[in-house]
Chain A
Amino acid sequence: MPRAMPTGKGKKGTINRLIKMVCKQHPLGVFTVLFFVVVMAFSTFGAPIFVGLVTECIEQGIQGLITEAEFWARMTEYLIIMGVVYGLGVIGAVIANIAMSVVTQDFLAEIRMAMFEHMETLPIRYFDTHKRGDIMSIYTNDIDTLRQIVRESLPGVFQTGVIVSALFIIMLCLSIYLTLVVLAAAVAILIAAKRIGRRSSKYFRKQQEKLGVVEGHIEEAINGLKVIKVFSHEEKSEYDFSILNDALSEDGIKANTAGNMLTPVIINIGNILYVILAITGALFVVFKVPNISILPGYKVGVPMIVTFLMMARMFSNNVNNLSQQLSMIFLGSAGASRAFDLLDEKSETDDGYVTLVNIKYKRDGSFVETVEETGFFAWKHPHKDGSLTYTELEGDILLSHVDFAYNPGHRILHDVTIFARPGEKIAFVGATGAGKTTITNLINRFYDIEDGKIRYDGININKIKKSSLRRSLSVVLQDTNLFTGTVMDNIRYGKLTASDEEVIKAAKIANAYDFIMRLPDGFNTMLSGDGANLSQGQRQLINIARAAVANVPVMILDEATSSIDTRTELLVQKGMDQIMMNRTTFVIAHRLSTVQNSNAIVVLDHGKIIERGTHNELIEKKGVYYQLYTGAFELE
């Protein structure tokens, strides 16, 4: 069953924008395509004209109206011209096709890169509000649609347009009556095609929907097959399936009948046209109806009928093609407009001007900026009066009276004030949705606060360039996203310039070294498909090593240990403990055991801080933390 066509209409002007874009980026290519398409088009209807001339010549020859020499001279002339016209047509087609391929592929690469490049600049909000599958579908389905439009439909419309109008004029030149017959048949074909097409697309859409349901059921049943077996639920499941399956087939028959019908009906109406044309022609001849044509001097006879028969085929085929290509463009404009929507998304803005620079310490304890990688950093702060100040990077974070809402009106955080002095460990505890992760999203400015202030080493983070701010923080997320590549590459992601030794050292700190060495190729083991060949715990260890190699003073750990077996959990825990040493750390904890030694534990509930203190203080207080600790509450 054909892939689902993108549904819905595109925005107005999408196709115009697409055409403008292609023309602007590839003027030469587009010109080449257009030029040779015209050449190609003209050669295609060269054929019937010459066949007509040849047959006329033969007839005259047979009837003795022309001499043998004349006959052969004309014959050779026709055949040579025919050869040349055909040759030009073939060459034109090859060049046009190649040019189309080149333009299309260049354009697709450009737009794909433009989309990707632009996507990388988009704020996290975009990714939080769009489904991953939807974003991916722009890169796969919608790009395919663009290919279809640029490579096939647009040139197709142009080519068939040229052919149809030229044929029309030629036919009018020969005989207006016969042209009318052809025109009537072409209209009939168009109407039939349209009706069948509408019916088929209606049922194909239905079929596609039902297929989706059936496939969903299949997926669910097979993924849950072991449960089905355990519950001896096979018969029920088969019964449910057969009902859906039967419903699918009902629409399937309708859709495919219509789909199958299109070609035979068009061809056969073409055949009928062929017959009617021949009969009409014959009647004209027999009843000696005077011919009316734009060019005078043509009379309806056998040669003209032969020519017309060939042209009629061509005309009806092209009219049909034209209508199909136009509807492809119409359908495809939805896909194209989604691609443009991505390009039109607003990029993340950055007004920051304070940057992070490497510094070198002198003997007296003062420091200077340097381009070397020293492992020491300072904030470079230009002021309005043109002066520059430097502040050492220490990792002092202060959130004061922060309010935040993902969507205006739905406040997620209320008046949150938290401070972390350099080297301190601050833990966030609370139920899902309490706002723990949200706070970390604010510190690295994935989202901007509504009210209040966040200061980093005393500097308002709005003044810090986002790239500098993020480089100064290391984050270990709950989702262990790894990239296709070696283990070494994945850890080095934290610091691209890290040497192999640094990577290995980081792996050791993160407690990942031992298991990596047991992998088939050690650090050179290829990870694929999001590190699927590793266990959840092992992926988390690589994640931690990646953060460790970055070696920055502030860490955010969104810990994920719930699905890890006990032994690996211990390793992960140790790894985390090691990289937290001497760093300012924000920990989001699911298991309270991991946060007991924090300098402060912040208990959040519905975006408000409800308790704060050290472990012992909070236990003594016998509040929410105490209840969580004793297991009276569930942390879900």
Chain B
Amino acid sequence: MSTIIYGIITSVILALYAVGFSLTYGISGLANFAHGALYILAGYISWNLMNYLGLPFLASAPLAVVACALVGFIIYWGLLLRVRGIPLSELVVTFAAGVAILELLTWRGFYGISYSLPVFVEGGVEIWGVAVDAQRLLVIAVGVALVVLLYLFVHYTKIGLAFRGMAQNERTALSVGIESDWIGALSLALGSALAGLAAVVVLPLGMMESSVGYEVLIYALAVAIVGGLESTPGMVVASFVIGFGQRITASYIGPKWMIIVPLAAIVLVLAVRPSGLFGKFKELEERV
């Protein structure tokens, strides 16, 4: 029983890590390698808002999310605009931006044992004899709400539709008046905001320091690729496959092998079924 419950929690956390990354890639084809850095940046910002300005966590968390969106926006207009279309340079620039952010945080002293965000909700409940704390339940709720909202957003709002237009055919989108750079910047901002949101929900479960950024990036990549980039249901399924894979590995093989699951999943999926679990034929052609 505990395997199922904690498996679900792990999976939702993975999905939260990945949703921003996969959204940005799906819309504008940008692999945002600064994703992990933005994630931890949100934690840092909200911690500082709380401890230096005395804001409550409920106020500092949304501010941190907005700040992340801004940083994402700036990364696009300030850095990516000039190298747009050169995948190598895009990748190196976002990765360098991410590492720069992480290292600056480390330099500011963002490591060690004193950084921890409070939980939104105290206490816990027992579900079928398994103790689960309220914060983890909140994580599940946020994860589910997020996926549903995103679905509604890209299917029923103007910007959302523009996003999908860009993803499907950039030229046609241009010809109907969708501004490619704006949408690109917005998609990066949205992806970054989602990274920030994941951070303020998930980080209270443990401690934080800048090195978390690298790990989050790897998980985001793993989930996004295994699910098939740009496919939201694929992403959800992938996070469950990896989440439960980890949990089962921990129970039956040994906990130290847990970290290997996502890595092996990526390699296997790409070798056997390159379009991801839920990829479509069109993507297959792009990949192979």
Q: Does B bind A?
A: no
Q: Please list the residues of chain B having a beta carbon within 8 angstroms of any beta carbon in chain A.
A: none
Binding site for B on A (CB under 8 A): none
